[in-house]
Amino acid sequence: MRRRVTQIIIVVLVLSVVGFGAYRFLPQIIADEAYPLEYIGEINQCADAFGLDKPLLAALILKESGYNPRAQSHAGAMGLTQVMPATFRANVGKMGEIQGIIENQDPWDPKTNICVGAGILAGLMAKYGGDWTAALIAYNGGDGAARRYLAAKSTAVLVTETRLYAPKILAARDVYATMYADRFTGSYPPTGGGIFLGGGTVGGGAPSLISVPVSKPSEKAREFWKGFAKDVFARFFST
């Protein structure tokens, strides 16, 4: 009996060590594979031009194109931020904020595409009073979808793709903010040394800064798993 109890204790201890190791060290492995961060210089520069949240822009690129600069949808949306040709042409020459940043008006050029996408998203943020969810819904489904969402105060009135779009972006954004905070240079984070999280409810303004020091591995792991769980739920379990 005593031997069996000892064996059980050893198994529990081993499982605890393995579980703790997975909790602490898997986040970076998963992030490197599932949440790549490419074109970081372009993201920082284009987001700064419009005062846009950088992890949000990184998450939008991930969900729109998987960081493939040659991505093209069946509808014709182009590049990293999947901007429609007509929308791109209507905006690229009018965005004064990026005229000293971009070197051409080629929609397939990574910096140009990211900057135009950032400008469009920033414009939608302003249009909808800082409501991240409404802005993302408009980015994906147009202003009509955003208005239906705001009128109903629910995403249930939207088609499935648009209904799930904002939760996926916001969940991925929290992962980027947690795992890559040290790579978002310039004006990010806006204050202090915490992680810039949350936002995106009906009538909600800008997200708030919470004091989670990114230098603490335990806090970093916790915030990663929270964002990762939301992302998985939004992808596979929301209906």
By annotation, the residues acting in catalysis are 64
Contacts of 66-75 with C-beta under 8 Å, sequence gap 24+, read: 67/36, 67/38, 67/39, 69/108, 69/110, 69/113, 70/108
At residue 72, φ and ψ (nearest 5 deg) are -145, 130
153: left (phi over 0), alpha (psi -120 to 50) or beta: left
- Beta pairing partners, 210: 195
152 three-class SS? helix
d(CA 14, CA 28): 22
Nearest to 189 by CA among 171, 210, 175: 210
- Beta pairing partners, 44: none
Residue type, 58: A
Find out whether 186 and 168 touch, Cβ atoms under 8 Å: no
d(CA 63, CA 95): 24
